[in-house]
Each structure stands twice: as structure tokens, then as C-alpha cells.
């Protein structure tokens, strides 16, 4: 798959007059088209809803675009709930899938009327004592062991801290029913960033069988099955991207095979995708500000791991192009680095790229999800701006870059007011 920057070098120069690099740039057109393809793929299910995982891109402008496309939101913290409330999500627009949940967070989710997804059996009592049990309630399932597709081990649920065992699910449903719950949801997240059209259908098969078992064991009404996140993206152009239409049809087939004959043909399907909804529709634009020639060739950028942590954290591959040099031969080998005093602050290692000069714009791909949002402030580095490339080609700032004032905002300088001087 050929990966193309959203903007040309000329456009980057124009944008930079108003908004200096580095910045994350989001492509509204791509976001909308993908969201529509998602809705279409699951339109066979009357109650279908995608709950965008807010943690992937917690920006109200982005969330509003997805709201306009019919999405709800998946939150897992107090501030994500606040943000969602501010954008106008309420009640059943919100899925609250948290773990190690503080009281304050549950209270907020309850007040908003969100669907609450319990991560553990002990949270049944915890929530009951705190707010009481809402009419509709969801529990998160963890089957343990390894999760395999064919012969390939996708992930290791047995090592994951999330969810409850099948026996605990049965016990939780019985207790919740006794506490007044009327309708039930089942949730599970078994593998992250899967690049396979089989992940969702396989997971759906497991959860559909579980739904029947739970209904038969407890007599509860199953309202929805939440397939959660995990449908991934092709970070590397050599990978074949997921086809959401094929995935939707795969889940449909399992639904017709398992749910319909069991009398569960009205159950709603929910998803909680973050990466798939936004990942490819964000790019980090950074400028080469230094070059260094020692035992290797280094390109020094004005962005660093503070703006995109995935390469440092997971060794993740992010594709790179140099604006205006997309068709030039990739006959140089570089480490593309940021400025942190951490040797893992490298966007790419031993990457074949065209010859890069100081001042060139470097486009780092697939930063739309788990990009800006994972950022931090190590070395006192400040987080970049977020810009939105509108469908008409205009560019709007949807989050300004951090300033030193932001960085120091949590400190009380009253005793030292002479010592910190902000630029005017």
C-alpha cells in the first residue's frame, strides 16, 4: 500500500507561517470516509454503534466529527468523561470501560447515564455500594490462556490484567440481576492492533457462544456484545490493511450462525475502536533542524518522543516520507531522532530515506491515534499543536502547542516569582 502525505512541501511552508512545526495534522475527509465505511460494514445489525476510544485522540474537534458520523465514545477516566460531556455525548452515547476504577470516576459515569462496563467481580459490590446498579450493565470477559488465530498467537489474555473469568461472569450476572439490573452487555478485548480480517469474527464467535451460556446459566436478557478495540492498521506499507467490509461480513456470518438460531437475533453489536478510526488520519510534521555524522548518520528533528512515543515505547514502525522528495531514490540510511536525553528517542533506526537537508519537512505517518495522546513532558519538552486539515483544504488549529506557562502551571512560584521569567 502506498502511503501519501496529506500535504505538499509548499502547503507545509504555507501552514508554517501561521503554525510552526512540529504539529500533528488530521485529515477530516479521511476520518469521515473511514467512519462511514465502518457504519456501512455493520449496518446489518440494527443496534450497531461504534464507541470511539477517546484515549486514542482526546480532542473535542475530532470527537465532534465522529459524533456527526454517528459514533458514541468509549471512556475510561474522569477527565475523558468530562471531555465527552463537553462535546455533547450523554447517556447511552458513552461506554465507560475502565479498570482499577476510582469511586469518583464511577460516580461521574453513573451521573452521565453511561453504559458501565465492570472489569472485575469485586466491582459489582463496589458499584452497588457507591451508586447502585444501573438498569443496563456490562461485564468484561477474559478467557485466559493465549489468543490464537489459526496457528498464530495474537496476544496473551492470560497475562492481561483486564476482565473476569467465565465463572466470575456467571456469578457477576447473577448478583447484578439480584441487585436490579435488567439488561446485560458482554465486553472483551483479546488482542491489540491486529492486522487480520479474522480477529473480530473470531472474537465475535467466542462472545456469541458465551452470551448463550450466560443467558442459559443466569436467565438474564443480553442487550449488547461489545467487541471493543483491537482492529489495527497497517503501519508498514508492506502490510495489507484490514478491510472493514470483510470484517463486518465476518461478524455478520457468526451472528447468523450462532445468535439468530439461539433467539438472540436482536442483540446489538458495539465496537470501541480507536486506532482504526483515527490512526491513518493523523501525520506528525516535523522539520530537520540538525544533522550529525558520527558512527551513524543522524537526522535531528524539532519533534521528539514527547510528540510520538510509540517508537520509543514499543519499537513501533512509523513510515516516513520527506515532503517534496516522495519520488526521490531512498539511497541514504538514517536514524531519525528527537532531542530527548534518551537514546530510544528515535522515530526510525537505519531507515532508507532520500537525502535529507536541514529545513526539510519530515512526515511521520499514522500518528492519528495513540500519538499526541500518549505524549508527556520529559526533559521539559513541550507538546506540539494539533491541526485539522478541513475537507475544503483549509487548516484549523484544534489545539495550540504547550508553552512554558503550561509546563509550570502546577507549581506554585509565589516564593520564587523572581526566578522564573517567561518570554513576553
Ligand X SMILES: *Cc1c(COP(=O)(O)O)cnc(C)c1O
Write the DSSP string, 80-125: HHHHHHHHT--GGGEEEE-SS--HHHHHHHHHHT-EEEESSTHHHH
* Stretch of residues binding ligand X (CB under 6 A), selected from 215-223, 228-236, 256-264, 315-323: 228-236
Q: Least distance from C-beta 194 to ligand X, angstroms?
A: 9
Going by C-alpha positions, the residue among 395, 397, 311, 399 that lies closest to residue 6 is: 395
21, 97, 218, 367: which one binds ligand X (CB under 6 A):
97
Give the three-class secondary structure for 397: strand
- Least separation in angstroms between residue 244's CB and ligand X is 12
Rounded distance, CA 260 to CA 376, Å?
Answer: 47
C-alpha triplet 386, 273, 238: angle, nearest 5°: 80
Considering only residues 35, 56, 118, 121, which one is a binding residue for ligand X as defined by CB under 6 A? 56
Binding mask 356-375 for ligand X (x = CB under 6 A): -------------x------
Distance CA 228, CA 219 (A): 24
Question: Which grid cell is 374?
Answer: 500518549
Cβ count near 256 (within 10 Å): 12
Choices 49-57, 128-136, 177-185, 384-392 (CB under 6 A): range interacting with ligand X: 49-57
Q: How far is the CB of 52 from ligand X (least distance, A)?
A: 9
Nearest distance in Å: CB 160, ligand X: 11
* Pick 45 or 142: Cβ nearer ligand X: 142
Map the footprint of ligand X across residues 142-181, applying CB under 6 A: none
How many residues touch ligand X under the rule CB under 6 A: the total is 17
x-or-dash pattern for ligand X, window 383-422, by CB under 6 A? Answer: ----------------------------------------
Question: Cα angle vertex 336, ends 332, 341, to 5°?
Answer: 145
Binders in 190-209 for ligand X, by CB under 6 A: 192-193
Nearer to ligand X, 229 or 311 (CB): 229
The yes or no reply on residue 230 touching ligand X (CB under 6 A) is yes
- Widest CA span of the chain, in angstroms? 75
Q: What are phi and psi of 126, to 5 degrees?
A: -55, -50
Residue closer to ligand X by CB (options 31, 53) is: 53
Bridge partner residues of 59 (DSSP): none
Q: Which is nearer to ligand X, 195 or 217 (CB)?
A: 195
Per CB under 6 A, does 72 bind ligand X? Answer: no
27, 50, 74, 80: which one contacts ligand X (CB under 6 A)? 74
Q: By C-alpha distance, which of 156, 186, 159 is closest to 170? A: 186
Nearer to ligand X, 245 or 397 (CB): 245
φ, ψ (nearest 5 deg) of residue 193: 45, 50
Q: For residue 229, report the phi and psi dihedrals to the nearest 5 degrees.
A: -95, -165
| 257-276 positions binding ligand X, by CB under 6 A | 272-276
Contacts (CB under 6 A) with ligand X, residues 103-142: none
Secondary structure class of 395 (helix, strand, coil): strand
Indicate which single residue of 48, 184, 189, 224 sits in contact with ligand X (rule: CB under 6 A): 189
Interacting residue ranges for ligand X, rule: CB under 6 A: 53, 55-56, 74, 97, 189, 192-193, 228-230, 272-276, 369
Amino acid at each position: 500500500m502506498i502511503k501519501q502525505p496529506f500535504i505538499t512541501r509548499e502547503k507545509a511552508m504555507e501552514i508554517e507561517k501561521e503554525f510552526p512545526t512540529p504539529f500533528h495534522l488530521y485529515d477530516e475527509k479521511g476520518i469521515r470516509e473511514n467512519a462511514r465505511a465502518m457504519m456501512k460494514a455493520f449496518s446489518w445489525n440494527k443496534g450497531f454503534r461504534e464507541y470511539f476510544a477517546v484515549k486514542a485522540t482526546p480532542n473535542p474537534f475530532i470527537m465532534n466529527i465522529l459524533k456527526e458520523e454517528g459514533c458514541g465514545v468509549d471512556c475510561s477516566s474522569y477527565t475523558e468523561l468530562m471531555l465527552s460531556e463537553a462535546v455533547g455525548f450523554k447517556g447511552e452515547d458513552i461506554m465507560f470501560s475502565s479498570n482499577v476504577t476510582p469511586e469518583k470516576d464511577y460516580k461521574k459515569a453513573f451521573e452521565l447515564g453511561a453504559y458501565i462496563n465492570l472489569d472485575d467481580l469485586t466491582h459489582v459490590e463496589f458499584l452497588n455500594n457507591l451508586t447502585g446498579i444501573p438498569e443496563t450493565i456490562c461485564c468484561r470477559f477474559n478467557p485466559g490462556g493465549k489468543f490464537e488465530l489459526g496457528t498464530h498467537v495474537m496476544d496473551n489474555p492470560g497475562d492481561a490484567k483486564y476482565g473476569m473469568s467465565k465463572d466470575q461472569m456467571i456469578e457477576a450476572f447473577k448478583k447484578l440481576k439480584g441487585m436490579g439490573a435488567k439488561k446485560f452487555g458482554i465486553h472483551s478485548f483479546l488482542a491489540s492492533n491486529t492486522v487480520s480480517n479474522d480477529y473480530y469474527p473470531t472474537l465475535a464467535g467466542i462472545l456469541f457462544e458465551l452470551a448463550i451460556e450466560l443467558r442459559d446459566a443466569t436467565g438474564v436478557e443480553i442487550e449488547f456484545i461489545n467487541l471493543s478495540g483491537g482492529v489495527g492498521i497497517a503501519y508498514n506499507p508492506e502490510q495489507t490493511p484490514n478491510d472493514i467490509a470483510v470484517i463486518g461480513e465476518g461478524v455478520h456470518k457468526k451472528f447468523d450462525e450462532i445468535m439468530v438460531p439461539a433467539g438472540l437475533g436482536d442483540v446489538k453489536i458495539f465496537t470501541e475502536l480507536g486506532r482504526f478510526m483515527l490512526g491513518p488520519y493523523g501525520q506528525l510534521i516535523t522539520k530537520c533542524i540538525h544533522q550529525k555524522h558520527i558512527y551513524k548518520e543522524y537526522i535531528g528533528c524539532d519533534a521528539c518522543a514527547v510528540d510520538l512515543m510509540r517508537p520509543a515505547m514499543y519499537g513501533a514502525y512509523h513510515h516516513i516520507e520527506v515532503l517534496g522528495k516522495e519520488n526521490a531514490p531512498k539511497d541514504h540510511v538514517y536514524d531519525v531522532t528527537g532531542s530527548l536525553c534518551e537514546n530510544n528517542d528515535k522515530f526510525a533506526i537505519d531507515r532508507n530515506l532520500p537525502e535529507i537537508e536541514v529545513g526539510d519537512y519530515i512526515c511521520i505517518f499514522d500518528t492519528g491515534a495513540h500519538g499526541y495522546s500518549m505524549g508527556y513532558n520529559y526533559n521539559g519538552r513541550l507538546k506540539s499543536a494539533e491541526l485539522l486539515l478541513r475537507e475544503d483544504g483549509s487548516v484549523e488549529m484544534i489545539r495550540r502547542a504547550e508553552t512554558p506557562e503550561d509546563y509550570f502551571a502546577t507549581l506554585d512560584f509565589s516564593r520564587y516569582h523572581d526566578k522564573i521569567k517567561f518570554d513576553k
